[in-house]
Chains A and B, each alone.
Chain A
Amino acid sequence: MWNYNRYLMYPVQISKPNLDYAKYLVTAIGSYAGELGAALRYLNQVDTMPTIEAKALLTDIGTEEMGHVEILANMIKALTRGVPVEEIKKSENLANYVDHGAPHITIDTSGNPFTVTYYASSGDFITDLYEDLAAEQKARAMYEHLMDITDDPEILAPLSFLRQREIIHFNRFKELLSKLKKEIDK
């Protein structure tokens, strides 16, 4: 089971709103490369992993991905908090405000809703771990694109953290896959 801690995995210290950037940042949660899909992907694959080490790693990384969703949701909150309606009317985030009042986060930049078809659980650990490796690279590329379009250090700091986490997860999945393959070869 999960327990909640009243602090973020990484501090969000965004001091000024940026409605237009918030519109693009939602993709890091709700797109095909987003954190929500990553969390559900790994947690859904746990039961068909062949060893307890693999089950533990997928559960633990899947749990961290939910923590990433929370970091991003707090970034979006900080980027949109306290903005007068007159400002919202001029921004790219107007449709989101009209539909939801507050930012709706489980969508991509075009407003497409998150879907479970973004990820798979095949029952074959080799297939699944290759999907997981690809997922980490998709997320890394997404964060680099999000970093490319801003020079605000308050936004770049958490994005840089999240990008680096994708690299670490990729490394751990790669080590796990290598270990499992060696065990099969025995």
Chain B
Amino acid sequence: MIKIKEILNPINALALGNSFKDEYSFYKYKQEDFTNIKTEKENLLILIMSYRFNLIDMSYLLDINPDNLELLNHFNKVKKDYYNLLSYYEDKYNALSNIAFKDFDKYCYLAKPWVGDK
């Protein structure tokens, strides 16, 4: 069973590709953080990716161990932070899904650029 103390912080987890310290396996290149972020918008998106990633990784363990309440409590805490980040981003910039988390006066899903565009 995974112990809570072994769960990495979301940014570190995303950079490495896993949320649980003991499962990391090095091959050729290691990234532990994201350094070349230029704007607050980019930084917020990386945070949203990180928290979402942490939740995805924990959800797999919860799929197999649904009775692990310690993990579920940690999952709930990260989930709260994730939705706070999502809400802050959507307030400031644009919707991140066609059914946005926030209410908008106008349809904000089509703001440019699209994923991966410049």
Q: A residues near B, CB below 8 A? A: 3-13, 53, 56-57, 60-61, 64, 70, 73-74, 77-78, 81, 144, 147-148, 153, 156-157, 159-165, 167-168, 171-172, 175-176, 179
A164 touches B116 (CB 8 A): no
**Cross-chain contact B96 with A153 (CB below 8 angstroms):** no
- A–B complex contacts, Cβ < 8 Å, 22 sampled: A3-B97, A3-B99, A6-B95, A6-B109, A8-B116, A9-B53, A10-B14, A53-B63, A64-B56, A70-B115, A78-B116, A147-B27, A148-B28, A153-B31, A157-B29, A157-B31, A160-B30, A161-B14, A164-B16, A164-B24, A168-B60, A172-B63
Q: Is the CB of A160 within 8 A of B23?
A: no
* Docked-complex contact B25 and A164, CB < 8 angstroms: yes
Instruction: Tell yes or no: B4 within 8 A of A by CB.
Output: no
Q: Are A167 and B97 in contact (CB under 8 A)?
A: no
Query: Could you give, for residues 101-118 of chain B, a 1 whenever the CB lies within 8 Å of some chain A CB and a 0 otherwise?
Result: 000000001000011101
Given A8-B115, A78-B116: A172 in contact with B64 (beta carbons within 8 A) = yes
Which of B23, B48, B49, B99 contacts A168, CB < 8 Å? B23
Q: Are A161 and B17 in contact (CB under 8 A)?
A: yes
Q: Which residue of B lies closest to A61 (CB)?
A: B60
Instruction: Find the A residue at minimum CB distance from B36.
Output: A13
User: Known contacts A7-B45, A172-B61; is A167 also within 8 Å of B25 by CB?
Assistant: yes
Q: Tell me the nearest residue of chain A to B111, going by C-beta.
A: A6
Q: Which residues of B contact A (CB under 8 A)?
A: 14-18, 20, 23-25, 27-31, 34, 36, 45-46, 48-49, 52-53, 56-57, 59-61, 63-64, 66, 94-99, 109, 114-116, 118
Q: How many contacting A-B pairs (Cβ < 8 A)?
A: 109
Contact of B17 among A13, A60, A74, A168 (CB under 8 A): A168
Q: Please give me the residue from chain B that is nearest to A164 by CB atom.
A: B17
Residues of A within 8 A of B94 (CB): 6
Is there an interface contact between B116 and A57, defined as CB atoms closer than 8 Å?
A: no
Docked CA distance A164–B63 (Å): 20
**Bound-state Cα–Cα, A4 to B114, Å:** 12
Residues of chain B contacted by A162 (CB below 8 angstroms): 17
Q: Out of A8, A77, A156, which one reaches B49, CB within 8 Å?
A: A8
Shortest CB-to-CB span from A94 to chain B, Å, is 23
Which among B28, B30, B49, B98 is the interface contact of A4 at CB below 8 angstroms? Answer: B98
Contacts of B20 in A (CB 8 A): 168
B98: min CB distance to chain A, Å? 7
Residue numbers in A under 8 Å from B109 (CB-CB): 6
